[in-house]
Amino acid sequence: MKRLLAAIACFSALVSANTAVGQGPSGTTWPNKPVRIIIPFAPGGPTDIIARLAGQKLSEILGQPMVVESRAGAGGNIGTAAVAKSPSDGYTILLTSSAYAVNVSLSPNAGYDADRDFIPVAVVAKQANLIFVHPSLGVKTLAELLALAKARKLAFASPGSGTTPHLTAENLFNVISKLDMTPIHFRGAGPAIAAVVGGEPPVGAGAASTPLPHIKAGRLQAIAVSSAARVAALPDVPTFAEAGFPGVEDDTWIGIFFPAGTPLPIVQKLNDSINQALRTADMKERLEQLAFEPVGGTPQQFAAYVKAEIAKWGKVVRAGNIKAE
């Protein structure tokens, strides 16, 4: 009888473990209703692009709508803090950029704790940051832009204080080149690009996907990209290294987080679904067209990457004495 009872207990535990995969706190299968994807930036930027691409594919895989919602402000802190305070039931997701890692150093009172308030799920994609100008500025190379910035006061548009395009430009212009170019921060990449297309200011920094259509149409002039190799969608644009700045390599990455306390089976199910989506031919093709590189990987790999990014950008913030605006 003891052996029988032990066997029943082992079987029950096995069944319980198997049925827990993808289940919420109440034991129901996740997801069984629409899931909100919160992006903490204005529509039109790289987070918005990836949220809609990934959201559509994840809806197909998981069988529930993924509803994208923008909550912009404070360099991404407002939307991020809102997700940190959301129920940890798997129905609110944070899809954000590498600003998440920057704001740890830039905004000590961000409204959330990057270490304790979230569970990293996966990096969806990454892309190079790009320096670009309005054609009326009359420069076509990074050397020409830097020479002009030494001769006259220039400002540059960024998609927000603490975004990696902002810090890429700060590091390149003001820390390394010892210039005094003023950042003008916008509530997302879309408004920042629109400002440079209008020539005010005439210089911009952004993840490559948002200015790409304007570069193709001749409304903007691409100067240099921050990746190790040239971007396939912009084969004629040199890297920072090719333009005379070896070792200056940055990415804007787009990743997904759950609020802390979300059941680990849900975390794993979403991670598996993201990796499945990134393996599909149509998703790969669309990302490449938009100058993104698919990433994926495990939650553990993403957690380690975030930790390294926090350390990296902390050094840039301190070296440039950069303050949140």
Class of domain 28-126+252-320: alpha beta
Take residue 294 and report the two structure tokens written for it: 């698919």
Question: Which H helix or E strand runs over 270?
Answer: helix 264-278
User: 0.75 cut: is pTM over it?
Assistant: yes
Condensed to tens digits (0 to 9), the pLDDT of residues 111-134 reads 899 989 999 999 999 999 999 999
Which backbone phi and psi does 14 adopt, to 5 degrees? -65, -45
Contact between residue 277 and residue 58 where contact means Cβ atoms under 8 Å apart = yes
Distance (Å) of CA 77 to CA 103, 122, 219, 228, 303: 8, 20, 31, 29, 19
Span 204-223, mean pLDDT?
Answer: 95
pLDDT digits (tens, 9 = 90+) for 273-306: 999 999 999 999 999 888 899 999 999 999 999 9
Identical topology for domains 28-126+252-320 and 128-225: yes
Task: For domain 128-225, give the fold.
Answer: D-Maltodextrin-Binding Protein; domain 2 (3.40.190)
Q: Domain map of the chain by residue range? A: 28-126+252-320, 128-225
